[in-house]
């Protein structure tokens, strides 16, 4: 299922190229006024282009201002059960926002995929996801099977005193992006997987337990605890790293901003 990536600027074109390299198959559409050296498609009007893309693609990524994206899709929106997933990314590559068809259409999942590819922050506002406040950080050896990861996650959440239904996402380091077992475990658990850039883990001021073994193996201070802390906002560890079924897990909880 191809992804259509749309942008209006040179900065956006560079990000679009990165997405095309990492999220294949991916078709890139760049405004005709932008000079590019890629084989991207060109267009004159983002509104007219969107009318075509809405019937030809199930996943759309706009690398441009949110207001522009809203105006582009406004005339095409029909029903959350049939509209394509729409994600908006700022040209700085900082945010991947689930804009349309978040739950039913898969935009929440697409936002996570785009965020992982760019090292951006996924923004999901659907109520069913916003009320979940637990993040499970996972560290595993190369080749770890999905069953061991699933068992470790379930046991870790139970040790923290919560139910799996409270978990919003799994988190690990981006160096684990090729671990098939980790992706399979996320699918089996029905949870998205957030990959935190290794450099972000190395340089974060957040406090967590360092591991000499992890430093030696992957040149990082740790994986499970910092991944859990950095995958959310206003997070606090509620279960320090535990080795369960030969998998390292840690659980962090997000605190919602008080309105009082």
Per-position DSSP letters for 114-133, written without gaps between them? HHHHHT-EEE---HHHHT--
pLDDT-derived band of residue 128, with 50, 70 and 90 as boundaries? confident
Residue 134 has pLDDT above 90, yes or no: yes
Find out if CATH 3.30.1240.10 is the number for domain 131-254.
Answer: no
pLDDT of 211 higher than 90: no
Lowest mean pLDDT among 118-127, 136-145, 165-174, 242-251: 118-127
Mean model confidence pLDDT for the chain: 92
Residue 257's pLDDT is 58
pLDDT at position 259 is: 43
Instruction: Kindly provide the residue ranges of all beta strands, DSSP E only, lying in the chain, ordered along the sequence.
Output: 3-7, 26-31, 41-43, 59-63, 85-89, 95-100, 121-123, 134-139, 167-173, 193-196, 235-244, 247-254
**CB–CB of 247/140 below 8 Å?**
yes
Q: Do 22 and 93 form a contact (C-beta atoms < 8 A)?
A: no
Banded model confidence at residue 241, pLDDT cuts 50, 70, 90: very high
Residue 139 pLDDT exceeds 70: yes
Residue 23 φ then ψ, to 5°: -125, 65
Q: What is the pLDDT of residue 260?
A: 44
In which residue are the tokens 């637990």 written? 134
Sign of CA dihedral 116, 156, 153, 213: positive
What pLDDT, on a 0 to 100 scale, did the predictor assign at position 37?
64
**3-125: CATH number:** 3.40.50.11220
CB 177 within 8 A of CB 139: no
> Averaged over 219-246, what is the pLDDT?
93
Domain chopping of the chain, boundaries = 3-125, 131-254
Residue with the bigger pLDDT between 179 and 37: it is: 179
- 195's CB contacts (< 8 A; 6+ apart) are 116, 171, 172, 173, 174, 176, 177
pTM: 0.86
Query: Lowest-confidence range among 94-103, 132-141, 190-199, 206-215?
Result: 206-215
Phi, psi (deg, nearest 5) at residue 65: -60, 145
Contact 107, 60 (CB under 8 A): no
Cα 143 vs. chain centroid, distance in angstroms? 22
Per-residue pLDDT at 1: 72
Give every CB contact of residue 255 below 8 A, 6+ residues apart in sequence. Answer: 133, 234, 235, 236
């Amino acid at each position: 299922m191809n992804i259509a990536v749309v942008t209006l600027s040179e900065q956006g074109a560079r990000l679009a190229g990165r997405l095309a390299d990492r999220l294949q198959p991916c078709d890139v559409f760049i405004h005709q006024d932008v000079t590019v050296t890629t084989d991207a498609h060109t267009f004159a009007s983002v509104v007219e282009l969107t009318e075509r893309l809405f019937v030809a693609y199930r996943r759309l990524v706009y690398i441009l201002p949110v207001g522009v994206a809203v105006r582009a899709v406004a005339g095409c929106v029909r029903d959350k059960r049939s509209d394509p997933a729409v994600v908006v990314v700022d040209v700085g590559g900082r945010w991947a926002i689930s804009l349309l068809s978040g739950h039913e259409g898969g935009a929440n999942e697409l936002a996570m995929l785009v965020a992982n590819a760019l090292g951006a922050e996924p923004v999901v506002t659907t109520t069913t996801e916003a009320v979940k406040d637990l993040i499970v950080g996972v560290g595993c050896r190369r080749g770890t099977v999905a069953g061991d990861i699933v068992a470790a996650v379930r046991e870790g959440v139970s040790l923290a005193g919560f139910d799996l239904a409270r978990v919003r996402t799994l988190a690990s380091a981006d160096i684990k992006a090729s671990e098939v077992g980790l992706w399979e475990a996320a699918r089996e658990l029905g949870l998205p997987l957030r990959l935190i850039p290794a450099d972000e883990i190395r340089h974060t001021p957040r406090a967590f337990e360092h591991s000499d073994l992890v430093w030696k193996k992957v040149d990082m201070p740790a994986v499970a605890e910092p991944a859990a802390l950095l995958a959310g906002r206003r997070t606090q560890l509620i279960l320090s790293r535990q080795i369960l079924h030969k998998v390292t897990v840690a659980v962090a909880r997000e605190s919602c901003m008080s309105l009082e």
